[in-house]
Structures are given as structure tokens and as C-alpha cells.
A and B are shown apart, each in its own frame.
Chain A
Amino acid sequence: MTSKQKKMRTRILVTIVLYAAVFAFDRLLLPDWLPAIARLPLYIVPYWLIGWDVLRKAWTNIRHGQVFDECFLMAVATIAAFLIGEYAEATAVMLFYQIGELFQGVAVGKARASVTELMNITPEYANVESVTGHLRTADPASVRVGSVIDVKAGERVPLDGVVITGESFVDTSALTGESVPRRVTVGDEVFSGSINGDGLLRVRTTKAYEESTVAKVLELVESASEKKARLEQFITRFARVYTPVVTVSALLLALFPPIFFHQPLSEWVRRACIFLIVSCPCALVISVPLGFFGGIGAASRIGVLVKGGNYLEALADCDTLVLDKTGTLTMGNFKVTQFIPADGYRTDELIMAAAAAEAFSNHPVAESLRSVYTEPVNTSRLTDMRELPGLGTHGYWNGKELMAGNAKLLAQYGITCEPRTELGTVVHVAYDGNYMGCFVASDTIRDGAAEAMKGIKRAGVKEIVMLSGDLTVLVEGTAALLGIDTAYGELMPADKVAKLEELLDRPHRGKVAYVGDGINDAPSLMRADVGIAMGKLGSDAAIEAADIVLMDDGLYKIAATVDIARKTTRIVRENVVFALAVKFAVLILGALGYATMWLAVFGDVGVTVLAVLNSMRCLTYRKK
């Protein structure tokens, strides 16, 4: 509680005692024959004690032309109740209003504290080494790129950089949600926001503070609440209309029946007061953004960055999840399993030609070849080497045509190759118009991939689709192994986007989420209803293109995020329905004369407090 709230608490307690005393005195000791007006001075005291600031605020607001202000409406409602002789009710309404406001303030403060707690990853200082080797403590924002900093045991890494001396285990759980510490040694990258274990690390910084991982993460989570969910936008629009409509109805209700139907004025003023009391849309205006904010906070705790409430909402409605195979479901680190030279060629000739063809490629398959053929390739003998996405590479070696790629590529150049049935990616090599043979590289499936797919299904996603550039037979095999519903193989990068669009255009379906590694599938990430990039601690491009970023490659986090999204959306919807139902019920009962002012107070602050408490459930996520 803040000191302001503590003061309010004291005021409320004093008022309650005073009010009880006045109430008892009024009912038990004052004789019945006294005119009602005689009780007025009694109730004015507690009323003023609890309500003076509301009245003052109402007064300043009305002078600025703010008619639909909550304080003003509350002031009008209670003063009107006083005028019709409902002193006890008027005072109580003000009292409960203030109690409700206090509750609401405390609840929001709690929620805010737990979210800030989640985001409490800001490094406070950096130990910068000077040229002479002396250490000085500096604000991370002031440290220049290329400086050498010391990160002592237990300290938070202040800036992204590369370890130059020392080795240690770093805990990245604040960023990735991954609780197993990561071992780092000379040459390894460390990310700001992670916590150093036992060793002393000397780190050369590679990024300025505002470009560093921790600053990016904080910026992202903070600005996430600016991207409003559809439901949130609806509430904002609704709030703008709701209050004026209810206030005007209150006015009509107070005047119309007495003037035209000779009804008693006081009774209809009382009903109008009920309208005024429930006219504030606060329950909705607070609990809906709070819910989404809580959901985003819960996701960030497991190392998932969600860029806005709108993406949580979309993910909750998602019934199709599309995954890229390589790099997402598989590790993307290929291993060459077989070399199959064609008749008349030796294995070492094939390897050398293949290594030359893949010399400039950074495709995972090319990487795998480099671990087999470790000698340097004489690149001066290579000319015009080009990489053809989805096909392979093509160019000239010693002035003669050289290519390595799939059967489609070779067919384009009129070379036929033997069909292969080996499991894995088959790369055919041709040189000087002759088929030299092929090699097979296969990719390892990520740990827990099958389990993760099951989790996604359990979270409520109906269909999982896998896209890949690999052979359809191979892709289907992997899909069956992992429990994936539909698999499409032999897709060029552009085909993947087209396939995704096809899925997006299916009628009567929910939203489509796309999961990729963010390296070469930025168009798909952007095109999908929700783009999820994974394993991207420190990669700016992926963070830029995706809507949701998994900070490490734990596939199970996809299901966890879907769970969080669904829970958040459900809670928020509950609040909207609950608040609107209570408010409309009070309005109807009030208009018909069945509601008391007590009920109206519940309809205002009671509902707000309950909705806020409900929203706070969004903050917690328990792994199933």
C-alpha cells in the first residue's frame, strides 16, 4: 500500500465507526416524530469526511466541462439521494465507493508489482576496465561498444558481448525461462540480463545498451500493451458511449415519469441515482487491459515474448499451426551419412567436387559437408557460383560446369540422376555434364518434438501442418513419427508462403499460426495471423518479423504459449460478460424499482474489484 492508500484506509475506518454510531443513534435514540430533515446534520458529518475529495474533484471537473467524470456522477448521485431524504444510503454509497476505489487501487498495484517483478532484469551497473586495468562502475547505458567489462560471480551481465577470459555457467532463465545454466567460455557470446554463476568473466561488449538483448526485451514487453486486442478496442469504444447513454437515461428517468405521469419525484430520482452509480465502465476499462498485460507477463516468465495483446487473442483462436521442418522441428545441423559415387567415379573425387560446389553456401547441408572435407577449397578455381534457393548450387570449376543439388536442379540442366530411396536430404553432384553421384545428409529431430506436438494438440490446436523443402516421402515419414497431421514436401521458399496463404484462405477456419526459425522465413512469419519465431535470443531480424518470440528452442513452449493465450482470453471474456451482465441487471432492476442503492454500489465497485482479482489470475501459469 502506498502512503496515499494508507491515509485513505484510516479515513475509511474512522468513517465506518462514525457512520455506525450515527446510524445507531438515529435508529435507536431519535424519536420517530422528528422530521426527516433533523437527521440531516447527523449524516452530513461522515458524508463529508469520506466524500470531500470526490466532491472537490467533481467541482474542478465540471468547471472544465467534464460532465461524464466518475467523481461528478458519484457526487450527483449522492447529493440527489440526500435531497430525497435517503441520508443513510447516500452516505453509505459514498463510503462503499471509496472502499471499492481503495481495493481496486491495491489490486492494481499488486498486479503491477508482480508484472514489474517479472521484468526486473535491468542491469544496474557495469564494471568497466580502463586501459590500465582499473575497474570503475558505470551506468550500462554509458558503456561504449568494444569496452572490456568484468562480470563477477553472481552479477547480472550488463551488456551483450563476447567472453575474452574466464569460463562460467550463466543463468539465462530471466530471458529464456530455461533453468539449466549455460556454460560459456572464451569466444562465447553472453547476453545482457542473464546472471553469471561462479566464474569471473571478462567480456568485450558488442552492443550499446539500447541495442542489447535486455533493453530490447524490456522495450518489447512495455510497448506490448500499446498493441491492443480487438476486445480491448471494443471496450474503449464501448466506454465512450456507455457513460453518456446511462447518464442521459438517468436524467430522463428522473424527470419523465413525474412530469408526464404524476409519479412521485423522489422515487424516480432514487432510481436515477442507481443509474448514475453504475454508469462508470471502470470494471471493464481496468480488467481487460490488466488481463492481457498479465498474460504477456506470464509468457515472458517462461521466456516467450509476446508483442501485443492482439497476438495473444489471435493465438487463442488459432486452430491450425504451421511449422517449418528444418531448424524448427529438426536441429538444422545436418550430418553426412553416405556418399554414393556413380559408376566410374571414386568417393574422394565425389567429395572434392561436392565440397567445391558447396564452398560458398551457408546452407546447413553445406556445413555438414565441411565437417567431412576439412581441407580448404581453392576458391580461385571457382567462378560464377550461385545458390539457387530450393534447388542447390550452380557454377563453374576450372571453367567447367559444376552443380550440386536435388534432382530437379540437375534435370534443368539436362542431367538425369539415379532415383534414391535413402532417408535424408539427397544431394546430387554433376561436373562437366556428367553425373558424379550423390551424398545423403540427414537432420536430427529435436528432443521432445513429438511430445511438444502432443502438447499443442492438447492445448486445443486442431491441425498441425509441416512445410519443408525436402522430399515428400521423407517429410511424410517425419510427420508420421512426430504425430503431425499434414505434411507438404518439395516446397521452394516461395511455395511455402503460397501454401501458408492457401491455409489462411480456407473458409470457416480459425486463425493460423506459423512457427519458424526466423532465418529465411520472415515473409511467412509476417503473413500468418500469428508469427512465432523460435530460438532467437539475440537475433534482431527474427524479433522484428515475428509477433511472438521464443527466446530459446524449447518446442514445448509453443503449447505453453497457446495455453496462456487461451486462459488469458477466457478470463478477459469472463470479466466482460460478468461486468456487463451485472451492470445491465442493475439498470433494469433499478428502472423497475427493484434495485437498492446498495446493489448499485456492488454493480460499480464490487464488480470492478472482482474483475481485477479475476484478471490477476492471468499472471500465473502452471506447466501442465
Chain B
Amino acid sequence: MKKKFHCEVDCANCAQKLQDALSKLDGVDEVSVNFMTRKLTLSAADERFDEVFDAVVKKAQQIEPDTVITA
């Protein structure tokens, strides 16, 4: 499943760092953080999607505390 979320990050470099770190997470097939469109696109297996998404949000907060991710 591929889903898009609204994602606010402070700077383009932060978005890149976030994307690098998030793509290493377990269960994430593909993730992209787009600074310009403020979109986070996450691909993960259907049955694990919610769990993976929670992990993504948690990791994002850890790396960039200012990150806001909403549906």
C-alpha cells in the first residue's frame, strides 16, 4: 500500500536526512519526504501499514523534533 501524508519539516536538508533515516526502518518498502510539496509518501505491506507508519512518525520525531506528520 502506498499512502501520502502531510509532512512539515524545517529545511530541505532535514527532509533529506529524514528520508535517509526512515528508509532504513524495518517494514518500509519505500519512503520519500518532499520538502517542497510537504508530502511524505510511504509504501509498506498492507497488513503492517499502521504499525510501520507509527514507527515512521516516532523515528521522525526523534530525528527532527519539529516534524509534524498528519494524514
Nearest A residue to B39 via CB reads A222
Instruction: Assess the B37–A285 pair: CB atoms within 8 A.
Output: no
Given contacts A57-B65, A70-B13, A285-B12, contact A293 B36 (CB under 8 A): yes
Q: For residue B65, which residues in chain A have a CB less than 8 angstroms away from its CB?
A: 57, 60
Instruction: Assess the A66–B63 pair: CB atoms within 8 A.
Output: yes
Tell me if B35 is interfacial: C-beta within 8 Å of chain A. yes
* Interfacial residues, chain A to chain B (CB-CB below 8 A): 57, 60, 64, 66, 70, 104-105, 111-112, 115, 222, 225-226, 236, 239, 280-282, 285-286, 289-290, 293
Select A112's contact among B32, B38, B41, B62, beta carbons within 8 Å: B38
Nearest A residue to B34 via CB reads A225
Instruction: Assess the A64–B62 pair: CB atoms within 8 A.
Output: yes
Nearest A residue to B66 via CB reads A57
Select A64's contact among B12, B63, B66, beta carbons within 8 Å: B63
Instruction: Assess the B36–A282 pair: CB atoms within 8 A.
Output: no
Tell me the bound Cα distance from A290 to B34 in angstroms. 11
Tell me the bound Cα distance from A348 to B35 in angstroms. 68
Select A286's contact among B11, B17, B62, beta carbons within 8 Å: B11
Nearest B residue to A64 via CB reads B62
- Size of B's binding interface in residues, CB under 8 A: 18
- Produce 1/0 per residue, B31-52, CB < 8 A to A: 0101111110100000000000
Tell me the bound Cα distance from A109 to B32 in angstroms. 20
Instruction: Assess the B63–A282 pair: CB atoms within 8 A.
Output: no
Instruction: Assess the A239–B13 pair: CB atoms within 8 A.
Output: yes
The minimal Cβ–Cβ distance linking B57 to chain A, given in whole angstroms, is 15
Tell me if B23 is interfacial: C-beta within 8 Å of chain A. no
Tell me the bound Cα distance from A286 to B9 in angstroms. 12
Instruction: Assess the A236–B34 pair: CB atoms within 8 A.
Output: no
Nearest A residue to B37 via CB reads A222
28 contacts between A and B (CB under 8 A): A60-B65, A64-B63, A66-B17, A70-B13, A104-B11, A105-B10, A111-B36, A112-B38, A115-B36, A222-B34, A222-B37, A225-B34, A225-B36, A225-B37, A226-B32, A226-B34, A239-B16, A280-B13, A282-B13, A285-B11, A285-B13, A285-B16, A286-B11, A286-B12, A286-B35, A289-B35, A289-B36, A290-B36
* Interfacial residues, chain B to chain A (CB-CB below 8 A): 10-13, 16-17, 32, 34-39, 41, 62-63, 65-66
Nearest B residue to A61 via CB reads B63
Nearest B residue to A243 via CB reads B13
Q: For residue A112, which residues in chain B have a CB less than 8 angstroms away from its CB?
A: 36-38
Tell me the bound Cα distance from A222 to B38 in angstroms. 10
Q: For residue B39, which residues in chain A have a CB less than 8 angstroms away from its CB?
A: 222
Q: For residue B35, which residues in chain A have a CB less than 8 angstroms away from its CB?
A: 286, 289
Tell me the bound Cα distance from A281 to B14 in angstroms. 11
The 7 closest A-B CB pairs, nearest first, are: A286-B12, A285-B12, A285-B13, A293-B36, A282-B13, A222-B37, A225-B36
Q: For residue B41, which residues in chain A have a CB less than 8 angstroms away from its CB?
A: 226
Given contacts A60-B65, A64-B63, contact A70 B11 (CB under 8 A): yes
Tell me the bound Cα distance from A192 to B34 in angstroms. 26
The minimal Cβ–Cβ distance linking A51 to chain B, given in whole angstroms, is 16
Q: For residue B38, which residues in chain A have a CB less than 8 angstroms away from its CB?
A: 112
Instruction: Assess the B12–A289 pair: CB atoms within 8 A.
Output: yes
Tell me the bound Cα distance from A161 to B28 in angstroms. 38
Tell me the bound Cα distance from A293 to B17 in angstroms. 20
Select A282's contact among B11, B34, B37, B62, beta carbons within 8 Å: B11
Tell me the bound Cα distance from A290 to B36 in angstroms. 7
Nearest B residue to A293 via CB reads B36
The minimal Cβ–Cβ distance linking B34 to chain A, given in whole angstroms, is 6
The minimal Cβ–Cβ distance linking B4 to chain A, given in whole angstroms, is 8
The minimal Cβ–Cβ distance linking B8 to chain A, given in whole angstroms, is 10
Tell me the bound Cα distance from A104 to B12 in angstroms. 11
Q: For residue A289, which residues in chain B have a CB less than 8 angstroms away from its CB?
A: 12, 35-36
